[in-house]
Amino acid sequence: MRALVIVHDHLSTAGHVGERLAERGYELDELLVVPAERYTTPDVDVAFPAAQDYGLILTLGAPWSVARRNAWIEAELALLRSAHRAGVPVLGICFGGQALATALGGGIEAAPRFELGWSSLTTDAPELVGPGPWFQFHGERWLLPPGARELARNDVASQAFVCGRSWGVQFHPEVTPEVLQAWFDEDGAAIAAEVGVDPERLVAELRADLPAVRARARVLVDAFLDHIAGSGPNDGTGSHMSA
């Protein structure tokens, strides 16, 4: 059982989400889109594998905007559309959720404010998306694609939607203290200063609450696999590109 994990930048990992997918029997094939040396010039050439080669696709966050619509973003949108049409389950996180919404006919727009830190959600489906708190790190939000059902929201953005076997979440269930610190060390500290939050405090809070953060992520992945992905993973035994 194989899952394609689209890692957009070298600072990010699948974290708690990848950990739970592995525990549930998935072999994770990571595809790094933008290598470290191209972080500031991310318009790279990427060959994405065929969606049908996998039983599941996980697409993570990114420091760039889907609105950039460069060659690899367009290629990823095509991959996500192909997966959706083929019934391959997709879980999109933050940028990944915005890309999924765009691929399925929605879009993105600027959020009314940059959201950085912990947020509780209003959820219509607590069995799928709990109220949190969940960690947020985004300045844009998606516009729901046709036929999608919104599952959760807060005062800044739609926070979760489902469309067939495709599921997008705006928050970061995967984030670990090490990854969050790396984001701040790279360019997130400037964003934190602009919105008036303390990076050290956020990392400390994440570390202190790590057992609960991990538990919420595990419940979320289980809900995705059991209720959204449906009858179970495809074999995913075809050829593929690996990171």
- In the residue annotation, 227 being an active-site residue is answered as no
Helix (H, G, I), strand (E, B) or coil at 159: strand
Structure tokens at 161: 């939607």
Catalytic residue among 19, 94, 138, 205: 94
**Is 49:55 a contact under the CB 8 Å cutoff?**
no
Single out the catalytic residue among 8, 16, 84, 172. Answer: 172
| Catalytic-residue membership of 172 | yes
- Which residues are CB-contacts of 180 (< 8 A; sequence separation ≥ 6)? 135, 202, 203, 206
Q: Longest Cα pair distance anywhere in the chain, in angstroms?
A: 48
Cβ contact 22:57 at 8 Å: no
Inter-helix orientation angle 210-223/199-208, to 10°: 70
CB 121 within 8 A of CB 153: yes
Does the active-site annotation cover 174?
yes
Distance CA 157, CA 25 (A): 33
Residues forming the active site = 94, 172, 174
